[in-house]
Amino acid sequence: MSGALSRFRFMAYVVGVGLLALVLAMLLKYLGGNPGPMAVVGPVHGFLYAVYLVLTVDLALKARWSLKGTALVLLAGTI
């Protein structure tokens, strides 16, 4: 299970940094009139988030989380 936890932690960090990059790209698009960064950062963040969801389910199965606990962690990842 430690491998699943390590992968989850790493991906949570990567997705968090990606979210900051996404916010910056959105500011550049909507306040700066430059849609270029958003065209790159948006899809990359979406892909990384999907990987995060898969790793969350992997950890939940290995740690034997309840369905409710798993759903709450997945939901918390959207914030």
State the first-to-last Cα distance of the chain, in angstroms, to the nearest integer: 25
List pLDDT tens digits, range 5-44: 999 999 999 999 999 999 999 999 999 999 999 999 999 9
Is the per-residue pLDDT at 2 higher than 90?
A: no
Task: Indicate the domain borders of the chain.
Answer: 2-76
Q: What is the pLDDT of residue 65?
A: 95
Q: 25 near 38, Cβ under 8 Å?
A: yes
Other CB atoms within a 10 A radius of the CB of residue 66 amount to 9
Question: What are the structure tokens assigned to 42, written together?
Answer: 């948006």
Query: Model's pTM, two decimal places?
Result: 0.86
Q: Is 74 exposed, middle or buried (CB count within 10 Å of its CB: 0-12, 13-18, 19+)? A: middle
- Per-residue pLDDT, 72: 94
Rounded to whole angstroms, the Cα distance separating 25 from 34 reads: 9
Is 38 or 1 the better-scoring residue by pLDDT? Answer: 38
